[in-house]
A = this chain, B = another copy of it.
């Protein structure tokens, strides 16, 4: 965890992930997903922003492997990657204290 055992690539990766999280709408999405599994339309309604924007933000979360998707009777359901859920929540909690 020390800087000298962290390569440039790892640093880059980590700051990429942080950038992905560092956005109000995406944080809201992560909050919503930390409670439930949701499809895109549910997220659109919950967030009150247009569909295209939600899809864009989901794309960024997907590209950073923060969420995963599964198709179920016509809808795409998003959820937090279960292996990462704990860390995502703890991370946000830490930031909350900063």
Binding site for B on A (CB under 8 A): 1-3, 6, 8, 10-12, 14-19, 21-24, 27-28, 31-32, 35, 65-66, 84, 87-98
Contact = CB atoms under 8 A, between A and B. Distances in A.
A78 to B, nearest CB: 15
Given A14-B27, A22-B15, A31-B2, A87 B92 contact: no
B84 A88 contact: no
Given A91-B94, A98-B88, A27 B11 contact: yes
Given A17-B98, A18-B21, A93 B27 contact: no
B92 A98 contact: no
11 contacts: A3-B28, A3-B32, A6-B31, A11-B27, A14-B92, A15-B21, A15-B22, A18-B18, A84-B98, A87-B95, A90-B90
